[in-house]
Structure 1
Amino acid sequence: MQHFDYKPHGVCPMNISFDLDGDTVHNVSFKGGCNGNLQAISRVVEGMTVEQIEGYFKGISCNGRGTSCSDQLATAVRKAKESE
């Protein structure tokens, strides 16, 4: 299992932290942002694959920003997977 930290762009959280075991994501946490919603996202994605997270969350926009916390998580896990 490998640990990753990602600095998201265009959203409120300052950092997304998670572990990647193969292509399975664990221990997601966000620093900053809407605490309740981000805790919920973190629980929902526990044990999902990179592809599942992308399928559910890629392309979601928050208030017309062109991205969202969940979209940034999908980007983060894909970049981590590709860096292995």
Structure 2
Amino acid sequence: MLTYKTSGVCAREIKFEVEDGKITSVDFVGGCPGNLIGLSSLVEGMDVQEAIDRLSDIRCGNKKTSCPDQFSKALKSFMDSSTESA
């Protein structure tokens, strides 16, 4: 399981797993439980790049980011590290 420390949102971190380019599990620590459980349910089984495309640049109120946007950043970081180690 990978862990991403968030910035600028209520959730403190995101724990997630990816297998064969698909998101297999997501768990937000902190934040709005109902929304984040719903988001997790929607992206599980989704292709990593599709999730990045759908979630990037979503804002929460007047914040410059959101939990979905932070998850897209976590996935981008995962993709970058996967590319470097390949």
Do the two structures share a fold, i.e. TM-score over 0.5?
Answer: yes
The aligned residue for residue 6 of structure 1 is 4
The aligned residue for residue 72 of structure 2 is 74
For 1:24, the aligned partner's letter is: K
Residues 61 and 71 in structure 1, CA contact (< 8 A), matched pair in contact too: yes
Q: How many residues align?
A: 82
Instruction: Name segments (4+ residues, structure 1) moved above 2 Å.
Output: none
Q: What whole-Å deviation, never above 9, does each CA across 1:28-55 have from its counterpart, x for those lacking one? A: 0100000000000000000111211112
After superposition, the CA RMSD in angstroms is 0.9
Q: In structure 2, how many angstroms separate the alpha carbons of the residues matched to 1:23 and 1:54?
A: 12
| Deviation for aligned residue 1:22 | 3.1
Residue among 31, 36, 39 paired with 2:37: 39
Q: In structure 2, how many angstroms separate the alpha carbons of the residues matched to 1:72 and 1:37?
A: 14
Q: Tell me, which stretches of 5 or more residues in structure 2 are unaligned?
A: none
Q: In structure 1, how many angstroms separate the alpha carbons of the residues matched to 2:53 and 2:13?
A: 22
- Which structure has more relative contact order (CA 8 Å, sep 6+)? It is 1
Tell me the TM-score normalised to structure 1 length. 0.92
| Deviation for aligned residue 1:63 | 1.2
Residue among 55, 58, 62 paired with 1:57: 55
Tell me the TM-score normalised to structure 2 length. 0.90
For 2:69, the aligned partner's letter is: D
